[in-house]
Amino acid sequence: MSARRQRWEIRPPAPTSFVEQLGLHPLLAHLLYQRGLHEPSIARAFLNADYSSGLHDPFAMRGMAAAAGRIAEAIERGELIAVYGDFDVDGITAVALLTQAIKAMGGRIRPYIPHRAREGYGLNNLAISQLVADGVTLLITVDCGISNYAEVAEANRLGLDVIVTDHHHPPMLLPPALAIVNPRQPDCAYPFKGLVGVGIAFKVVQALARYGKRPAGLRGRDLLDLVALGTVADMGPLHDENRVLVRAGLIALNESSRPGVLALVAAAGLSPGMIDSGAIAFALAPRLNAAGRLADARRAYELLLADERMKADLLAAELNTTNRERQALTRQLYAMAETMVMQSGRTEHPLIVVSHPGFNAGVIGLVAARLVETYHRPVIVIEQGEETSRGSARSIPGFSIIDLFDQCADLFVRYGGHAAAAGFTISTNQITALEQRLLALGSQHLSAEQLVPRLLIDATVPLSDLSWDLYATLCQLEPFGQGNPQPVFMTPNVTVIDPQPTTDGNHLRMRVRVGQTSFEAIGFHFGRFADALRRHPNIDLAYQLAVDEWNGQRRLRLLVRDFRRATKSE
């Protein structure tokens, strides 16, 4: 058994004919083949990710022509438009993108981002009434709305035209909007279904440009920094069109002159030129998300569109503080939830449901994600209220939580999401019924095989093959993320030298050696294994190749993903 109690699965190699036809480094060809790119021409297109040729026609998306036509008409007539988004990074960036673009097209537009605690997810009737009272005649949703049938119907009753742009799983009954733009909706021929909310907002801007509504002083590429932030933060699959958009967006981020982006990057301890998909996922996105989790998401929106650096620095510092509070609260509630799981015997359930009045809706999704990592099964965490409660779910690879929720639709006030993550509002007196039904469905649909954690290993590689040249070759696969993970390699029978826990005891530093070749390695959350590795230093090591930068010096090191006793002797 490995240190993380995972079953290791080494992927089969690419066919020799594919490697020869591609004419690239054999390991790179192998990794491309594993990503489902089985035709050399498709593999080369993936590597190129060309912005000028790699984007699809926005009008291939069902509803786009009607949506863009109505927005163009509203701009021409000087109507007041509202863009209504979610309070996560995807929604915030989508609101910022459409607001910036439509203003530059000469349109009158105002943003609306609901408050998580006071209003909850999606459209709500109070907000709609206020927008109508303010003179709004066209409402555009971004990253939400697909599950808001009743609210869209109410908007229609009040004389408001509604365009829904969303990427979440469509329910059986679609809202009665003027137009719905969602590549996942039935009968939509758009060739790529993986766009997130900000990606769809960008396609709307592309469509408006075809209607002659070009934003003055603003190129489409000037918006791609927002697209990259939202797509990576929302874990959009980084292949096809998302890969093209994020790759170009990372260039835009690293060259950005937005005061808000520069302030955010500085607050995260980074600098322009250092921003990759990992920096978005682990440094920038958490700070933007913290506003919507514990405070007001509009602060993150204000940061992104700030026009002065001094104001942006103040907002970025505020988000930094909120993010530290979010981290502390997540640790506290995770410990509380884990205790509940252990004491209740839920570790034996096919999926885990925990609810408590002390949970905070702003971080229950993060708590659920950490419980999934710990127990490798779908997890639903519910903030229990007096009359209504809010829940957040995270799933395991290969199992769709939203499909399960579809079979519980009658129990929810509202719900939405996708295969990996979903959220809902429910009457508190229905929580027990929900747990019972989910457990029954989980027992029916989750196999024992699915509940065994797996580590997919891309290739067995000798330590002596690791070099700067190989690292540069692997960088051709970037950006890494959902759907295009950073490769994991395995080297058998390495010798561990001087394993030491970090000062806090959580992490592990060591050197590993085979023959005359050695590398520094770090294992996050492996600190407790230092003593065992001193006693048994010969291991099979699963890792990722990375670069450590310190005081201007760069060196290769290994990020430990797992290890096990060596399967053969030296």
- Which helix (H) or strand (E) is 424 found in, with range? strand 421-427
Q: What is the rounded CA–CA span in Å between residue 71 and residue 56?
A: 21
Contact 352, 376 (CB under 8 A): no
pLDDT band at 563 (very low <50, low <70, confident <90, very high): very high
Per-residue pLDDT tens for 473-504? 999 999 999 999 999 999 999 999 999 999 88
Which residues does residue 458 pair with via DSSP β-bridges, in sequence order? none
Asked if 345-445 and 454-565 have one fold, the answer is no
Whether the pLDDT of residue 304 is over 60: the answer is yes
Residue 167 φ/ψ, nearest 5 degrees? -125, 0
Structure tokens that stand for 248 in this block: 């170009």
DSSP, res 147: T
Lowest-confidence region among 447-461, 506-520, 544-558 = 544-558
Give the per-residue pLDDT at 568.
Answer: 62
Whether the pLDDT of residue 156 is over 80: the answer is yes
pLDDT band at 266 (very low <50, low <70, confident <90, very high): very high
For the domain spanning 58-255, the CATH number is 3.90.1640.30
Question: 273: exposed, middle or buried (C-beta count within 10 Å: 0-12, 13-18, 19+)?
Answer: exposed
Give the per-residue pLDDT at 471.
Answer: 96
Give the per-residue pLDDT at 221.
Answer: 82
Cα diameter, the chain? 78
Domain coordinates of the chain in residue numbers? 58-255, 345-445, 454-565
HEC readout, 384-416: CCCCEEEEEEECCCCCCHHHHHHCCHHHEEEEE
**Contact partners, residue 269, CB within 8 Å, separation at least 6:** 283
Q: What is the rounded CA–CA span in Å between residue 421 and residue 399?
A: 10
Q: May I ask the CATH class of domain 454-565? A: mainly beta
The whole model's pTM is what?
0.91
Average pLDDT rounded to a whole number, residues 346-375 = 94
- Which helix (H) or strand (E) is 341 found in, with range? helix 309-344
Q: Is CATH 1.20.1250.20 correct for 345-445?
A: no
Whether the pLDDT of residue 169 is over 50: the answer is yes
Whether the pLDDT of residue 61 is over 50: the answer is yes
Per-residue pLDDT tens for 91-149? 999 999 999 999 999 999 999 999 887 887 889 999 999 999 999 999 999 999 999 99
| Three-state DSSP state, 251 | helix
Within 112-192, where are the H helices?
116-119, 125-133, 149-157
| Three-state DSSP state, 199 | helix
Whether the pLDDT of residue 569 is over 80: the answer is no
Give the per-residue pLDDT at 570.
Answer: 42
Per-residue pLDDT tens for 179-210? 999 999 999 999 999 999 999 999 999 999 99
Handedness of CA 135, 137, 142, 144 (dihedral sign): positive
Give the per-residue pLDDT at 481.
Answer: 92
Percent of the chain with pLDDT over 70: 99
